[in-house]
Amino acid sequence: MTATIIDGKAIAAQVRADVAERVKALQAKGIQPGLAAVLVGDDPASHIYVGSKQKACAEVGMYSEKVEMPADVTQEKVLEEIERLNADPKISGMIVQLPVPDHISELALQMAVAPEKDVDCLGPTNVGLLARGKGILLPATPYGVVELLVRSDIPIQGKDVVIVGRSGLVGMPLGIMLAQKNDRANATVTICHTRTADMTSHTRRADILVVAAGKASAVTGDMVKPGAVVIDVGINRTEDGIVGDVDFESAKEVAGAITPVPGGVGPMTVAMLMVNTVTAAEALAARS
Q: Which of 118, 120, 232, 245 is catalytic?
A: 120
Is the CB of residue 33 less than 8 Å from the CB of residue 89? no
DSSP readout, 195-209?
A: T-SSHHHHHTT-SEE
**43 tagged catalytic:** no
Is the CB of residue 272 less than 8 Å from the CB of residue 144? yes
Residue 243, phi then psi, degrees to nearest 5: -130, 165
Q: Whole-angstrom Cα distance, residue 193 to residue 171?
A: 9
Q: Whole-angstrom Cα distance, residue 58 to residue 25?
A: 16
Classify residue 226 as exposed, middle or buried by CB count within 10 Å of its CB (0-12, 13-18, 19+): exposed
**7 tagged catalytic:** no
Phi-psi region of 39 (alpha: psi -120 to 50; beta: other; left: phi over 0): beta
Q: Which of 97, 159, 207, 232 is catalytic?
A: 97
**159 tagged catalytic:** no
Is the CB of residue 134 less than 8 Å from the CB of residue 121? no
Quick one: which of 56, 19, 21, 23 has its CA closest to 37? 56
Q: Which of 53, 117, 159, 225 is catalytic?
A: 53
DSSP E strands, the chain? 4-5, 34-40, 63-69, 93-96, 160-164, 188-192, 208-211, 229-232, 236-238, 241-243, 257-258
Quick one: which of 81, 101, 33 has its CA closest to 273? 33
Is the CB of residue 265 less than 8 Å from the CB of residue 256? no
Catalytic residue list: 53, 97, 120
